[in-house]
Structure 1
Amino acid sequence: MPLSSVEKVRRTLQAGGYVADDVIATAVFLSVSMEKPILIEGPPGVGKTALAKALSAILELPLVRLQCYEGIDEGKALYDWEYGKQLLYTQLLRTQLDSYLEGASSLREAVGRLSAEESLFFSEHFLVERPVLKSFRSEKRSVLLIDEIDRSDDEFEALLLESLSEFQISIPELGMIEARQKPLVILTSNGTRLISDALRRRCLYLHIGYPDLEREVAIIRQNVPATCEALARQLVGFVHRARTLGLRKPPSVSESLDWARVLSILGVRELSPGTVVSTAGAIAKHQADLARIQELAAQELA
């Protein structure tokens, strides 16, 4: 078992390209051991979604992703019915009724035959599996990623409570459907809305913030191996200082990686004010932020 201890989790993630610290590795180990979802909070771009993708790739498990948004409901997250096919089926039943009336000895017999056909109306023939149900019914264990749960509303959280605590979904027309294989569930939140205590209680909690300098250098070197050690340290040090400027959009780890790739493509071996001016669009996403980062470069790299 590659996830049979905290150290093995850390090594496995490292081998798969995800640089995890002990806190992250411990959360994953406990989630697997306890079969309990993880709620991961933190700023955008620090590796929350990437953790789910890494686990899926490393363990060779299918990744089932549910992207949350305002107004999402059970029809998009849990299950739905194929209304178009149901409508066609209803029209077919109408034509069948005439034949039943002709061949039946009584109206009661004809209605009985029709009722037997109608029982298929809400059956698995017309059931549409949305991400949560698809994950639960998978023959192979999967990684269920519920991404940006904070974009949904309280009503949607309530829909998830039974699913995430009991790993089952109640469908009134079919009854209770239990998970064949309990998925490894990861929920992510950027903190734009406070997640309810009821949902938090059903999950292990993990906060992923901006990494320290050593870990971010390791992330750069792991994902952009063409970046030399000296440039990686210079780049990460500059990004760390930029995060203290009170920018509208502080550069995240994903922006650090983008910048490292840009510098690698350009063959840059050392940062300079001119290099920052021409490439700062990789880490600055607003005009005001761009000006402040360029000013920082003039001060720090001159």
Structure 2
Amino acid sequence: MPDHPLPPASIDETIAMLAREDYLAGRSLATVLFLALKMKRPLFLEGEAGVGKTEIAKVLSKALDRPLIRLQCYEGLDVASAVYEWNYPAQMLEIRLAEASGLTDRGRIESDIFSERYLIRRPVLQALSSAEGRAPVFLIDELDRTDEAFEAFLLEVLSDFQVTIPELGTIKAAEPPIVIITTNRTREVHDALKRRCLYHWVDYPEAAQELEIIRRKVPGCNQALSQQIIAYVQKLRTLDLFKNPGVAETIDWATALTELDRLALDPETISDTIGTLLKYQDDIARIHGGEGARVLTEVKDELRAAG
């Protein structure tokens, strides 16, 4: 019997599981997540940076009491960094010790140094090496930062949950890991890889949902300020900024304003704290240049009209 919580048995249970970890998911996201767990298929999450894609893997790890193994992708990522490499200094030391002891059997030396003892397991191999019943959550984060060659390598991993190491042979997972792949869509990922996954576009939350997120994540933020923060952020996302603020930035801003004991937004407060919300100077200059005050006026008028 497994010694960790079982995956949810329904979509409603999936929503409840995520909510217990303070992740508020819409029904469409909960549905595709439930199906990915049920069908044991990788889940491909696409969306703007900061909408909570990576957080889904972290929440799953905690809710299901599974290890989280994260492969942070970047340009130039190769097999040695992602899958495995050999401990070359230790191998060289073993060779020298063998020579010093008079051992001349090259086949035996080679067999010894290319064994599990000298194998350094990187995230992909770690994700495939867990014991049955303890399959981890394997997060392949920001896949769009890698190149097509690495994508092609992942096809074997995602198709058969195995990798081939020339010196050791094929290593196959006793139980497939729970795979979450994220991309910020800086480039298109090849269809061959997407076909092996279930897909979901993670969008910015609606105002009511984001307000509830603030209530859970920043409980010290008063209701009136929370409403102003959410209304302000939601309007900023309509301005075609270089980088719209994500949910993480909204939480940071609410936390910062709470730490400063602010009870309401005003132009000076926005100017002083905008760096917790926006991260590009052109966007900040636009807010300082009068756009921010206009948005604040609209927000207060709308909230006043709503009662």
Q: TM-score, normalised by structure 2?
A: 0.89
* Kept after mapping to 2: 8 A contact 1:242/1:296: no
Residue 78 (structure 1) shift: 1.0
Q: How many pairs does the alignment contain?
A: 289
- For 2:128, give the aligned amino acid: F
Aligned to 1:4, what secondary structure does the other structure show? coil
* Kept after mapping to 2: 8 A contact 1:144/1:183: yes
Aligned to 2:113, what secondary structure does the other structure show? coil
Residue 150 (structure 1) aligned with residue 144 (structure 2):
yes
Alignment of 1:162-177 (within 5 A): 162-177=156-171
Alignment of 1:189-228 (within 5 A): 189-228=183-222
* Kept after mapping to 1: 8 A contact 2:7/2:37: no
* Kept after mapping to 2: 8 A contact 1:93/1:114: no
Partner Cα distance (2:295, 2:109) in 1: 77
Structure 1 stretch displaced more, 115-124 or 48-57: 115-124
Structure 1 unaligned spans of 5+:
101-110
Partner Cα distance (1:258, 1:186) in 2: 25
1:179 to 156, 173, 196: 173
Structure 2 unaligned spans of 5+:
1-5, 298-307
- For 1:129, give the aligned amino acid: R
Per-residue deviation, residues 122-143 of structure 1 (Å, max 9, x unmatched): 2112111110111111232211
Residue 275 (structure 1) shift: 2.1
- For 1:252, give the aligned amino acid: G
- For 2:125, give the aligned amino acid: L
Residue 121 (structure 1) aligned with residue 100 (structure 2):
no
Q: Which residue of 2 aligns with 1:131?
A: 123
- For 1:131, give the aligned amino acid: P
- For 1:136, give the aligned amino acid: L
Structure 1 stretch displaced more, 117-126 or 57-66: 117-126
Q: Which residue of 2 aligns with 1:73?
A: 78
* Kept after mapping to 1: 8 A contact 2:140/2:182: yes
Q: Which residue of 2 aligns with 1:29?
A: 34
Residue 257 (structure 1) shift: 0.7
Partner Cα distance (2:7, 2:138) in 1: 19
Partner Cα distance (1:132, 1:87) in 2: 25
CA RMSD of aligned residues (A): 1.6
1:4 to 9, 20, 30: 9
- For 1:127, give the aligned amino acid: L
- For 2:124, give the aligned amino acid: V
Per-residue deviation, residues 121-168 of structure 1 (Å, max 9, x unmatched): 321121111101111112322111111111110111111111111111
Partner Cα distance (1:201, 1:13) in 2: 26
Per-residue deviation, residues 87-127 of structure 1 (Å, max 9, x unmatched): 1222233334xx46xxxxxxxxxx6x542343223211211
Q: Which residue of 1 aligns with 2:65?
A: 60
Aligned to 2:189, what secondary structure does the other structure show? coil
Aligned to 2:170, what secondary structure does the other structure show? strand
Structure 1 stretch displaced more, 64-73 or 81-90: 81-90
* Kept after mapping to 2: 8 A contact 1:284/1:293: no
Residue 85 (structure 1) aligned with residue 90 (structure 2):
yes
Residue 43 (structure 1) aligned with residue 37 (structure 2):
no
Residue 296 (structure 1) shift: 3.2
> Max radius of gyration: which structure?
1
Q: Which residue of 2 aligns with 1:106?
A: none
The runs of at least 4 aligned residues of structure 1 exceeding 6 Å deviation read none
Per-residue deviation, residues 197-245 of structure 1 (Å, max 9, x unmatched): 1111111111111111111111111111122333222211111111111
Aligned to 1:284, what secondary structure does the other structure show? coil
* Kept after mapping to 2: 8 A contact 1:217/1:233: yes
- For 2:187, give the aligned amino acid: R
